[in-house]
C-alpha cells in the first residue's frame, strides 16, 4: 500500500500499519512480498560478499601485501581498502540485482493482480529495457556510495 495515492489508507505510525494491514488482509498481509524479497536479497548478498572478498584481495595485492608479506597496513590503508572494496561490491551487486529488485518492489505495492504483473513485465522488459534498468541502477549505486 502506498500512502498519498487516491483511495489508499494513511497511517499514523508502525503500530497503526500493523493493525490496519492485519485487519484488512490478515496476518499474511504482513508478509506480502517476503518470498520475492528472499529471492532478491539472497543472490544480492552472495554477490556482495564474493565481490567484496575479491576486491579486497586484488587491492591488497596491488598495494604490495601479497602472500608472505610481513609488513602490516596502516589504519588509514585498512579503512581505505575496506571502503573501496565495499563500494565495488555494492556496484557489482546492484548491476546484477536491479531488475529483480524493481520487480520485487512493484509486486510489494501492487494488489497482486495478474493485470498488474503483466504491466510490470511489459514496462521492465519490453518497453526500453536498457533505459529502465539505468533509471534504477544509478540510484542504487549512489546509495551504495553514500
Instruction: Read off the pLDDT of residues 62-85 as tens digits, 9 standing for 90 and up.
Output: 998 887 778 888 999 999 999 999
- At residue 115, the pLDDT reads 56
Instruction: Confirm if 57 and 81 have CB atoms less than 8 A apart.
Output: no
**In whole angstroms, what is the distance from residue 67 CA to residue 78 CA?**
17
Give the residue carrying C-alpha cell 504491466: 119
Collapsing DSSP states into helix, strand and coil, what is residue 137? helix
Weakly modelled stretches of the chain, pLDDT under 50: 1, 114
- At residue 95, the pLDDT reads 85
- At residue 45, the pLDDT reads 92
**In whole angstroms, what is the distance from residue 33 CA to residue 104 CA?**
7
Q: What is the pTM of this model?
A: 0.59
First to last CA, the chain: 28
Please say whether the dihedral angle defined by the alpha carbons of residues 137, 105, 86 and 62, taken in this order, is positive or negative.
negative
- At residue 3, the pLDDT reads 56
Find, among 76, 77, 48, 83, the residue nearest to 60 by Cα: 77
- At residue 139, the pLDDT reads 67
Amino acid at each position: 500500500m502506498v500512502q498519498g495515492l487516491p483511495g489508499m489508507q494513511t497511517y499514523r505510525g508502525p503500530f497503526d500499519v500493523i493493525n490496519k494491514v492485519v485487519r484488512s488482509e490478515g496476518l499474511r498481509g504482513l508478509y506480502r512480498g517476503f518470498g520475492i524479497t528472499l529471492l532478491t536479497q539472497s543472490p544480492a548478498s552472495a554477490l556482495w560478499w564474493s565481490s567484496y572478498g575479491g576486491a579486497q584481495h586484488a587491492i591488497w595485492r596491488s598495494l604490495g601485501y601479497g602472500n608472505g608479506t610481513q609488513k602490516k597496513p596502516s589504519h588509514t590503508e585498512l579503512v581505505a581498502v575496506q571502503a573501496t572494496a565495499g563500494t565495488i561490491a555494492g556496484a557489482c551487486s546492484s548491476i546484477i540485482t536491479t531488475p529483480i529488485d524493481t520487480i520485487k518492489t512493484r509486486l510489494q505495492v501492487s494488489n497482486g493482480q495478474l493485470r498488474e504483473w503483466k504491466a510490470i513485465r511489459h514496462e521492465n522488459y519490453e518497453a526500453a529495457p536498457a533505459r529502465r534498468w539505468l533509471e534504477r541502477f544509478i540510484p542504487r549505486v549512489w546509495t551504495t556510495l553514500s
